[in-house]
Structure 1
Amino acid sequence: MQKKTLKSLILLLGVSLLAACSNTQDKINDETIGWTAPQLYEHARENVRSKNWKTASNYLHTLSTRFPYSGHAQQAMIDEAYVLWRDDEPEQSLAVIDRFNRLYPNHPNADYMYYLKGLITFTPPSSFLSSYTGQDPSERDPKGLRESYDAYNQLVERFPNSRYAEDARLRLNWLVNTIAGNEVNVAQYYYERHAYVAAINRAQVVLRDFAGVSATERALYIMMKSYEKLGLRDQASDAERVFMQNYPNSEYLSKGLEGSSSWTDFFKLSSWLN
């Protein structure tokens, strides 16, 4: 009986929330009939200054849909993307950004939109730790990290002198090392569970896509040992030759993977900029 009552309460709250959002939009649509684009934009800006994100978003959306060819429409989309992000609506914000980039690829503020997209999908170590639930690391999807990397990479390539380029480069450096670290941690996870083919595949991603990062040493060692475990002598010999050429004094040769960073230790960083 209590469970049924609780479910009914949750359903009622959900319906009430949807109704409230709908009423807010309806109210804005009613009161703005006959308003000009500048009027809508000014009201949106007032709500941004007051941090009334949802109301500001509704004004901006109304402006861009009601006056799609006005001088304010493009700026309204830029502001709407930011406001939706601040209103904890990242997916909607990303949708606005992608639509803007398709419609206005050469807009003077296109660099900002790429920067904002990278920021929305950027996930520093603290967020990984806060969401840590003990799940199999192979189930962790670094999709957000890669999307952030792609956005920042496009920013620095297309707009190298942008005011956002320097910060984007710092974040790119962290992202490259983090994505590579994620791959090699999963490779080690598979290796320790005797899934040697899967370990090799993950290690190869690091060697192919992230050559030169610190995770390369462990990735190559895992690949070498996995080939040995599978009895593939030629491949193991080739991997060992490359490993010795690049890391002749590696501690892995004497200590193995014991004591090396586990996949959870990777996120114990003092700063994402390090």
Structure 2
Amino acid sequence: MRSEDGLGAAARLLRAALIGLLALGAVACSGDEEPEYVERPVEELYNDAMDQLEAENYEQANQAFEEVDRQHPYSVWATKAQLMSAYTNYLADQYDEAIIALDRFIDLHPGNRDIAYAYYLRAISYYEQIIDVQRDQRVTQLALDSLQQVVQRFPNSEYARDASLKIDLTRDHLAGKEMAIGRYYLTDREHFAAINRFKTVIEQYQTTTHVPEALHRLVESYLALGITQEAQMAAAVLGHNFPGSEWYQDSYALLEGRDLTEARSERSWLGAAWDWIF
């Protein structure tokens, strides 16, 4: 009788333990479940998102703006939230995500009252990613293209002036990249390759700060190849357009003080550069 009682007690303990484990498993599973979806008024959701934005909680703000779009996709607030979501990504330095969101906004709402700002913010998201001239400049070109779109599409907008200023800086950066490559070729004595880079600066980036040096580097390159007439022509163009430049002084010294006023030749590609007005 005692052994049967012992077996019965053991069975009851095992049963109680099993029930306890099942209960714990149920609690654990319930903890893994997603929180219950609760629809909230659109104004409440949007205001919460704005509160997070003002508190500089950009990740939470972004999620809150996305929730506005999810819960009320056909409301005016949803359209605003799409743009604000891109803006919070921009503030958080999540530029790629901002650009994706802005591309979507532009595609969906081409006639929206804030469309000029969307184009501008996309351009700035590219602009903020511009890196040192020693690196690949693909993003710089994208920034330039996007900034030009702002000016061309919205010339009278409040964003056009700032975009124009940034276009000048972006073009200067691209010219700087060409100069860096040209200098490398010049140092490596690949003079024809260097000349092509310096010509690109002169022909495509005439309003940048790199033009005087590019002309001087042409003088160096042409002299290294023994093409004295072209070297004289480059120096003459430099002196005509930038008479006070230190680069002109360097070029003049290289040519040993020769009279450059007679160097003009219409047959030279540099002849077209003679009458630049900066």
What TM-score bracket applies, with the shorter chain setting the length? 0.5 to 0.7
> Could you list the runs of 5+ residues in structure 1 that have no partner in the other structure?
1-25, 129-136, 257-274
Matched, 1:106 2:98: no
Identity across matched positions, percent: 26
> Are 1:32 and 1:40, in contact at CA under 8 Å, matched by a contact in 2?
no
> Which of the numbers 221, 224, 228 marks the counterpart of 1:229?
224
> Are 2:42 and 2:77, in contact at CA under 8 Å, matched by a contact in 1?
yes
Query: 1:54/1:32 Cα in 2 relative to 1: closer, same or farther (>3 Å)?
Result: farther
Per the alignment, residue 271 of structure 1 pairs with none
**Quick one: distance in 2 between partners of 1:170 and 1:111?**
17
Per the alignment, residue 91 of structure 2 pairs with 86
Per the alignment, residue 174 of structure 1 pairs with 169
Per the alignment, residue 165 of structure 1 pairs with 160
SS in 2 for 1:69: coil
Per the alignment, residue 132 of structure 1 pairs with none
Superposition TM-score, scaled by structure 2 size? 0.66
> Which of the numbers 40, 43, 50 marks the counterpart of 1:38?
43
> Which of the numbers 196, 204, 209 marks the counterpart of 1:209?
204
> Which of the numbers 177, 182, 185 marks the counterpart of 1:187?
182
- Kindly name which structure, 1 or 2, has the bigger radius of gyration based on alpha carbons: 2
> Are 2:219 and 2:251, in contact at CA under 8 Å, matched by a contact in 1?
no
> Are 1:43 and 1:59, in contact at CA under 8 Å, matched by a contact in 2?
yes
> Which of the numbers 225, 241, 253 marks the counterpart of 2:233?
241
Matched, 1:196 2:191: yes
Query: 1:171/1:159 Cα in 2 relative to 1: closer, same or farther (>3 Å)?
Result: same
CA RMSD, aligned part only? Answer: 3.0
**Quick one: distance in 2 between partners of 1:159 and 1:226?**
43
> Are 2:191 and 2:225, in contact at CA under 8 Å, matched by a contact in 1?
yes
Deviation at 1:171, TM superposition (A): 2.1
> Are 1:115 and 1:152, in contact at CA under 8 Å, matched by a contact in 2?
yes
Greater RCO, 1 or 2 (C-alpha within 8 Å, sep 6+): 1
> Are 2:129 and 2:139, in contact at CA under 8 Å, matched by a contact in 1?
no
> Are 2:172 and 2:208, in contact at CA under 8 Å, matched by a contact in 1?
yes
Query: 1:177/1:120 Cα in 2 relative to 1: closer, same or farther (>3 Å)?
Result: same
**Quick one: distance in 2 between partners of 1:32 and 1:230?**
75
> Which of the numbers 45, 56, 62 marks the counterpart of 1:57?
62
